[in-house]
Amino acid sequence: MWVVGDRRYTSHAFHEHVWSLSARPAIPPQHHEAPVACPDWIYNNRNVAERLWARLKEWRAVATRYEKTASSFMGILCLAVALDWLKT
């Protein structure tokens, strides 16, 4: 399993946390750091997830998190994803 992130998640503590979860970080290094072995296709396809979150944040309830409990927020999130899937 891969964890994809931007350059702001390049801290060693975050990398160690990802490795402790039995996953591999696919995070590009900062400009002053050495390159990391990461398949280009994994990092380049991260825009699919980023565009999905951008579309979900158009929902006011998702962007502001009006729901008080995690289960009701998950319900709104599932509804937004399902309607987004039907629209595409």
**Per-residue 3-state assignment (H helix, E strand, C coil) for the chain:** CEEECCHHHCCHHHHHHHHHCCCEEECCCCCCCCCCCCCHHHHHCCHHHHHHHHHHCCCHHHHHCCCCCHHHHHHHHHHHHHHHHHHC
**What pLDDT, on a 0 to 100 scale, did the predictor assign at position 86?**
92
**What pLDDT, on a 0 to 100 scale, did the predictor assign at position 21?**
92
Point out which residues pair with 24 in neighbouring strands.
2
Give the residues of the chain that fall short of pLDDT 70: none
**What pLDDT, on a 0 to 100 scale, did the predictor assign at position 3?**
83
| Count, residues in the chain | 88
**What pLDDT, on a 0 to 100 scale, did the predictor assign at position 56?**
84
C-alpha to C-alpha distance for 82 and 62, rounded to whole angstroms: 13
